[in-house]
């Protein structure tokens, strides 16, 4: 289980440490905040193919 996400230089996210809890975690925020970029980054780390978009 993931306990924490540590991100540096991922598109619009310069640096972030996101603690995760047991159970359900939700990423919320304004348009353009980087939610989709965060999810795509997690998918890439877990082995999903990425595209150039």
Between 50 and 52, the higher pLDDT residue: 50
Which pLDDT score, from 0 to 100, does residue 41 have? Answer: 85
Whether the predicted pLDDT of 52 surpasses 80: no
Helix (H) or strand (E) holding 35: helix 35-45
The pTM for the full model equals 0.70
Region of 33 on the Ramachandran plot (φ > 0 left; ψ -120 to 50 alpha; else beta): alpha
Residues 21-51 have pLDDT tens digits of 999 999 999 998 889 988 988 898 889 988 7
Whether the predicted pLDDT of 53 surpasses 70: no
38, 27 Cβ separation under 8 angstroms: yes
CA atoms within 13 A on the CB side of 44: 11
């Amino acid at each position: 289980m993931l306990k924490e996400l540590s991100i540096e230089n991922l598109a619009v996210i310069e640096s972030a440490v996101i603690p995760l809890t047991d159970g359900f975690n939700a990423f919320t925020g304004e348009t353009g905040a980087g939610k989709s970029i965060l999810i795509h980054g997690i998918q890439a780390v877990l082995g999903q193919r990425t595209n150039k978009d």
